[in-house]
Structure 1
């Protein structure tokens, strides 16, 4: 079960809104969704959590490129939204865009499966660029200026989003949309 919310910084503090990620297929889609909820191009944090298994933060500041942190890349890669973020951070999404890769140019008959080991097929923990790293991935300093330092972020587990909301001073706002 996912929990996803957007925290938008305003002059008066933070505003939270729960969000559906059904139409989000790429990091660009998620960044666009965050920008739609921005107040005066200020900071928006997209927070995603899956049952205390992993969490992710996507920070969008105006038109700047989004900054991403995933707490446990290996666990996140087993879910669609986590895999999207891990693929973006590892560059795998750029390698999968070759149209020739989708054509059967290897001599197999239509419908005949190619023989690949589990890791090459992407069903295991490896993808086009090798194994998915265990542990955190991305920018652990993306909340430094907001009061959550790298060391603090790396130490979070369990209900991490509540701990982040505590540090940002918006626990009640986030809990209202939970």
Structure 2
């Protein structure tokens, strides 16, 4: 189960809206959603979380390339939306992305995933033949620094991370309304 929300910065503070990811198949789709929510090309944050397994933050400002942070690349790579982000960050093959998404179940896990506790798969997960994704955070660790959340604080987040991020940005109440 996913939770996804947009936080758009305005002159009056932050505005939050939940978002459906059903039509999102690429990072471009996700970036377009964020740009549509932008007021005067100001900062928009896209929050994605999968049942406390991983979270991702995508920061979009105007026409600049999006900045991305994922809390656990290996966990995210096992899910459809997380795979979009990890492919972008780790240079995965975008041509195979649609095929990879089709192979996922609705719960975001692949058929035939290794059993939990398999020692060979604890630190890395194979996304496609010959590729592996590191366990742990990947991406722009300073993505929220200028908004009041340091790299150390971001890396220390665990459960309910998106609420903690929103609280640090002064947007906790508005995010709570869409959660």
Return the TM-score normalized by structure 1.
0.82
> In structure 2, what is the equivalent of residue 5 of structure 1?
5
Q: How far does residue 125 in structure 1 lie from its aligned partner after superposition? A: 2.1
Structure 2 residue 178 is the aligned partner of structure 1 residue 177: yes
Distance 1:129 1:173 in 2: 43
1:66-122 per-residue CA deviation (whole Å, 9 max, x = no partner) reads 00000001111111000111111111134648xxxxxxxxxxxxxxxxxxxx9xxxx
Distance 1:89 1:127 in 2: 15
Give the unaligned 5+ runs of structure 1: 98-117, 119-123
Give the unaligned 5+ runs of structure 2: 98-113, 115-124
Q: How far does residue 40 in structure 1 lie from its aligned partner after superposition? A: 0.4
> In structure 2, what is the equivalent of residue 132 of structure 1?
133
> Contact conserved, 1:95 with 1:128, CA < 8 A, in 2?
no
Distance 2:63 2:129 in 1: 30
Distance 1:72 1:25 in 2: 20
Q: How does 1:88-107 map to 2 (within 5 A)?
A: 88-94=88-94, 96=96
> Contact conserved, 1:90 with 1:129, CA < 8 A, in 2?
no
Larger Rg computed on CA atoms: 1
> Contact conserved, 1:147 with 1:168, CA < 8 A, in 2?
yes
Q: How does 1:12-161 map to 2 (within 5 A)?
A: 12-94=12-94, 96=96, 125-127=126-128, 130-161=131-162
Equivalent pairs counted in the alignment come to: 153
RMSD between superposed Cα atoms in Å? 1.6
Specify the SS of the correspondent of 2:63: coil
